[in-house]
Amino acid sequence: MMITDAKIHYLCGKRNTAMKIVFATGNRNKVTEAAEALGSSFEIVTPAELGFDGEIPETHETIPENAEEKARFIWDKFHLNCFADDTGLEVDVLDGAPGVYSARYAGEPKDPVQNVIKLLAELKHVPYEERTARFRCCVALMIDGRLEMFEGTCEGHIALEPMGQLGFGYDPVFIPEGMEKTMAMLTIDEKNAISHRGKAIRLLSCRLNEIQG
């Protein structure tokens, strides 16, 4: 296998006791949350740090398939251990929409604000108690060429209006079950403790720790 400049940088860069692993995403918010959830035993490397600035494909019709596609894409390109996530918001009264299309719910290009506006418009006449929903996150791990999958969910309701300045995506309108705050009103630590991605990443962390021995 050819040793590229990117791989040399990956293998010989900053040395510490942390295990390096590539996170197949260009979303810095996701990187921040994943780094907090994984902890200091792991060092996340992004595709951009390996010199890749293109689009990572997600062409499938389900969340698990998209997560797998993204992880396999980075593995095939760099042959480095990596993981990818795909996440969707499932609103019960909308028959599970926006689901796998959450990031592009309002069309192209991706626009989180317009996605929220569209969602609230569709729920305009739906009372709060019927606005049940969940975030679903699937994480695909490619480790030495083998695929493993992890999933986390977070149940809740869609708020009547956006609240909070933290987080990203649909966080300003998602109220986790048992709380009165939206995810956009929570700190990273508070969010990771209960969120779909936090749960999936903790399962990933447990598996990586097993692999490390």
Helix and strand totals (H; E) in the chain = 6, 7
Q: Collapsing DSSP states into helix, strand and coil, what is residue 89?
A: strand
Enzyme catalytic residues: 86
Kindly state the helix (H) or strand (E) to which residue 22 belongs, with its residue range. strand 19-23
Q: Based on the number of CB atoms within 10 Å of its own CB, is 175 exposed (0-12), middle (13-18) or buried (19 or more)?
A: buried
Q: Quick one: CA torsion of 125, 182, 37, 56, rounded to 10 degrees? A: 40
- The CA-atom distances, in angstroms, between 96 and each of 133, 203, 208 are 8, 25, 32
Q: How far apart are CA 111 and CA 108, in angstroms?
A: 8
